[in-house]
Amino acid sequence: YDASGSGRSRRCVRLDPSRDAIFKAMNDTGPTVTTEAQPLFAKVCAFCFPGGEEAARRVLAIRTTQRGEMRMSPQAKWIPFTSEEVTHATRSNFRWDARIKTGAFTSLTATDAFEEGRGRLVVKVAGAIPVNKLEGPDLDKGELQRYLSSIAFCPPILLNHASLEIASDGPLTLRLRNRQDSTEAILDIDVSGEGQPLTCRADRPRMLGKKALLTPWSGIVAGYQEWNGLRVATRLEVSWHLPEGQFTYYRGEILSFSL
C-alpha cells in the first residue's frame, strides 16, 4: 500500500513471527564472501562446524565466562580477572564485563564494548566510581576489530552476519570487514591448511591516555573443543607489537559457553 496518494500499489508480505521464519531470513542474508576467498572460507567452515552448519545458523549470540590475567605495561605485574562476555552472531556487537582484582580487598570493574556502532571502555572502582572512560572514533575502530577477532569463540558469525565481508589476503589468510563500518577497520585471520583459525592480526589504535597510536596487534587462539556442534577456542593470548619488542598484555581462558 502506498500512502503517498500516487495511486501505485506495492507488494505486501505477511511476516511469520515464528523463530523458524527468523532463522530462514538469517540464512538468506549471510556474509559476502569474495570469489578468491571461497575455498579457504569453506575450509574454515568445515573446521568450525563439525556438526554441520544447520545448528550454527540458529545461533543469535554466545555468552562466555572467562578468567585470566592482564597487565598495563611490559614492566607491570599481572593482575587476575574474571569476566562475562556476550558476542552477537548476526551483527557487530559485543560486551565484556570484568572484575579485576587489584589487591587483597580492592578491585575494579571494567566494561569493554562495541554496541550500536560505537566502542567504549569504562573502568570503575568498586563498580560505582568511574576512574577512566574512553570513547570516540579511534575506540570505535579498535573495538570493531576486537569484535571481528571473536570468530574463534563465536564461529556462527561466519554464517549469520549479513554485513560481514570476507576476502583473502594470501593463501591462508582471511580478511574481514564490516561493510557498514565507516572507520575502515579490517582484521586478518591466519588459518592452518585444515582451516583452523590460529592468529588474528590488525593495526589497532592503542590508547595512550586520551590519544591513540596505530600499532600492530595480534591474538593467538588455542585449546579448541567441540561444543553444541561447533568447534570453539578456549584460550587466548593478546599482544601489542611495539618498536622495542612484543608486549603480551592479556592471557585468558574460557570456562563456559551458553547460547
More confident residue, 186 or 102: 186
Question: CB within 8 A of 31, min separation 6: which ones?
Answer: 158, 159, 161, 162, 163, 164, 165, 166
Whole-angstrom distance, CA of residue 82 vs CA of residue 128: 18
Given pLDDT bands bounded at 50, 70 and 90, which one contains residue 12? very low
Beta bridge partners of residue 130, listed in sequence order: 124
Q: For residue 150, give the nearest of 116, 115, 182, 176 by alpha carbon.
A: 176
**What pLDDT is recorded for position 127?**
67
DSSP characters over 219-233: EEEE--EEETTEEE-
pTM score > 0.85 for this model? yes
Q: Do 92 and 178 meet the contact criterion of CB atoms below 8 Å apart?
A: yes
Beta bridge partners of residue 69, listed in sequence order: 80, 251
Buried b (16+ CB within 10 A) or exposed e, 56-93: bbbbebbebebebebeeeeeeeebebbbebbbbbbbbb
pLDDT tens per residue across span 111-162: 999 999 999 999 998 767 778 899 999 999 999 999 999 999 999 999 999 9
Q: Is the pLDDT of residue 4 over 50?
A: no
Q: Do 98 and 107 meet the contact criterion of CB atoms below 8 Å apart?
A: no
Comparing 25-29, 100-104, 236-240, the range with the smallest average pLDDT is 25-29
Characterize the bridge pairing of strands 225-227 and 230-232.
antiparallel
Mean pLDDT of the chain: 90
Q: Do 199 and 186 meet the contact criterion of CB atoms below 8 Å apart?
A: no
Comparing 82-86, 130-134, 173-177, the range with the smallest average pLDDT is 130-134
Rounded percentage of the chain residues whose pLDDT exceeds 70? 88
Whole-angstrom distance, CA of residue 81 vs CA of residue 99: 6
Q: Is the pLDDT of residue 97 over 90?
A: yes
> If you average pLDDT over residues 16-44, what whole number do you get?
75
One-letter amino acid for residue 138 of the chain:
D
Q: Do 90 and 147 meet the contact criterion of CB atoms below 8 Å apart?
A: no
pLDDT tens per residue across span 215-231: 999 999 999 999 999 99
Residue in the block written with cell 557498514: 180
